[in-house]
């Protein structure tokens, strides 16, 4: 990888000096010669030896594959199987849950679509359903526009899960149904939904770093974040992308790798909501020939998540004039089949089950 891409903050004078010595990539810096020999060939005053050694160490760390101890992997997998219950990370829409293969952590899922297609509604339904069923879990919602999470939306959706939880006859949260825990989960759901504003990438990184520190400092806390929603990621990354510079792409890749690291380390389900852009003449990832839209942020973004879920809103059908049909389609998935789809109903701000292909 190019050094400038790997470490965007490198001074231009140092980049030019290394380029003059034929050092352009991480492989050139690490394997072409010893670091001492490379440093000796640099013009005097370009960089101190201590700073150069720190640069080599930084490049080595970023270019290396992350090492994971076997006992840490085993412990993490055991925790996921014992403490995180599949049923509690479902949307509650059976056909969609089947397409997604559930949303149990660690997962990073992209939800894309045009404005008004139900992206935020779907994410909010998942979060509220989870919080209403697990009394010791919390969620973090990162709002990048200032208006994605309105009280009206929450007040519309929460009663759905109050009724659902109260009528359950059994649960997988514990070995037997616990009415006290169920009622506590419902009554405290909104208290455990944390909302943070982040209007640029730096602010979003600060929020995530604060969460990381919190989870790391007290891993045995009685209340643990299990779900993170970024609504939406487009205004954070979009302004940085450019056809004449790779800096924005490097920032996007680094940010998504941070999300992946958080999901793996702390057993998180992370939902990343993305906007759409044109796809002329058609989107080849779609099962439908008429699809002429695609997720924003470029073709490489979809490979930085586990699943890309695409929502398309259509008009009303049949005798029901109060509900819009929404087609939910899996463009790409590491866990289930791609190019599969089902239909949902969006009625009065609530996503409900429809049919399937």
For residue range 238-270, what is the model confidence (pLDDT) as tens digits?
999 998 889 999 999 999 999 999 999 999 999
The Cα–Cα gap between 253 and 158 comes to 35
Ranges of residues in the chain with a pLDDT under 50 are 84-86, 169-177, 356-357
Q: So where are the chain's domains?
A: 3-63, 82-356
pLDDT tens track for 33-61 = 888 899 999 988 889 999 999 999 998 88
Q: What is the CATH number of domain 82-356?
A: 3.40.50.300
């Amino acid at each position: 990888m190019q050094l400038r891409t790997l470490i965007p903050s490198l001074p231009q004078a140092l980049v030019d000096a290394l380029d003059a010595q034929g050092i352009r990539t991480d492989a050139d810096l690490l394997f072409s010669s010893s670091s001492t020999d490379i440093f000796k060939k640099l013009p005097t005053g370009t960089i101190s030896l201590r700073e150069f050694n720190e640069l080599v160490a930084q490049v080595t760390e970023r270019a290396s594959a992350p090492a994971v101890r076997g006992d840490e992997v085993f412990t993490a997998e055991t925790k996921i199987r014992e403490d995180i219950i599949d049923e509690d990370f479902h949307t509650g829409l059976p056909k969609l849950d089947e397409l997604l293969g559930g949303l149990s952590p660690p997962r990073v899922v992209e939800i894309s679509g045009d404005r008004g297609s139900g992206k935020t509604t779907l994410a909010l339904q998942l979060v509220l359903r989870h919080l209403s069923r697990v009394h010791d879990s919390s969620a973090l919602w990162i709002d990048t526009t200032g208006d994605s999470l309105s009280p009206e939306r929450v007040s519309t959706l929460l009663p759905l899960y109050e009724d659902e939880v109260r009528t359950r006859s059994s649960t997988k949260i514990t070995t037997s149904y616990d009415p006290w825990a169920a009622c506590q989960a419902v009554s405290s759901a909104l208290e455990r939904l944390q909302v943070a504003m982040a209007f640029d990438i730096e602010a979003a990184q600060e929020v995530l770093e604060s969460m990381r520190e919190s989870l790391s400092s007290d891993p045995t806390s009685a209340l643990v974040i299990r779900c993170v929603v970024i609504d939406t990621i487009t205004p954070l990354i979009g302004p940085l992308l450019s056809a004449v510079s790779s800096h924005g792409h490097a920032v996007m890749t680094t940010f998504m790798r941070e999300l992946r690291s958080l999901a793996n380390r702390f057993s998180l389900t992370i939902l990343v909501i993305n906007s759409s852009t044109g796809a002329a003449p058609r989107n080849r990832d779609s099962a439908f020939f008429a699809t002429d839209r695609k997720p924003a942020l470029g073709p490489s973004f979809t490979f930085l998540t586990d699943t890309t879920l695409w929502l398309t809103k259509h008009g009303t059908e049949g005798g029901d004039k109060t509900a819009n049909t929404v087609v939910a389609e899996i463009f790409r998935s590491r866990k289930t089949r791609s190019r599969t789809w089902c239909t949902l109903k969006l009625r009065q701000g609530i996503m409900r089950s429809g049919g399937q292909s």
